């Protein structure tokens, strides 16, 4: 799963993000690693669709709220909208 998320090919990366989003529902050490990987994607990925997919699948909680709020400065308005909907909803 981590291998797919780290690939340069966007199709495989999307599959990896979908698989990793399932793990985010678990309470375990791997869930923290997946969250870190998602935040790395949101910080360095050039492809807006990939960043948007990572932000859509991340769970917002008190532990990662500061990292989510930083993404409000994202250049993509869709991603900023997703974040605001997550914070309000």
pLDDT digits (tens, 9 = 90+) for 69-81: 988 888 899 999 9
Predicted local distance difference test score (pLDDT) of residue 5: 66
Predicted local distance difference test score (pLDDT) of residue 84: 92
Q: How far is CA 64 from the centre of its chain?
A: 11
Tokens standing for 79?
Answer: 């991603």
Q: Taking 80 as the threshold, does the pLDDT of residue 4 lie above it?
A: no
- pTM of the predicted model over 0.85: no
Average confidence score pLDDT of the chain: 84
Look at 37 and 5; give whichever has higher pLDDT: 37
CA distance 5 to 56: 15
């Amino acid at each position: 799963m981590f291998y797919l998320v780290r690939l340069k090919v966007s199709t495989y990366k999307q599959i990896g993000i979908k698989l990793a989003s399932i793990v985010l529902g678990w309470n375990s050490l791997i869930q923290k690693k997946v969250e870190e990987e998602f935040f790395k994607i949101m910080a360095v990925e050039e492809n807006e669709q990939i960043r948007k997919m990572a932000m859509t699948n991340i769970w917002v909680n008190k532990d990662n709220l500061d990292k989510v709020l930083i993404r409000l400065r994202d250049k993509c308005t869709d991603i900023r909208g997703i974040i605001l909907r997550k914070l309000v909803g």
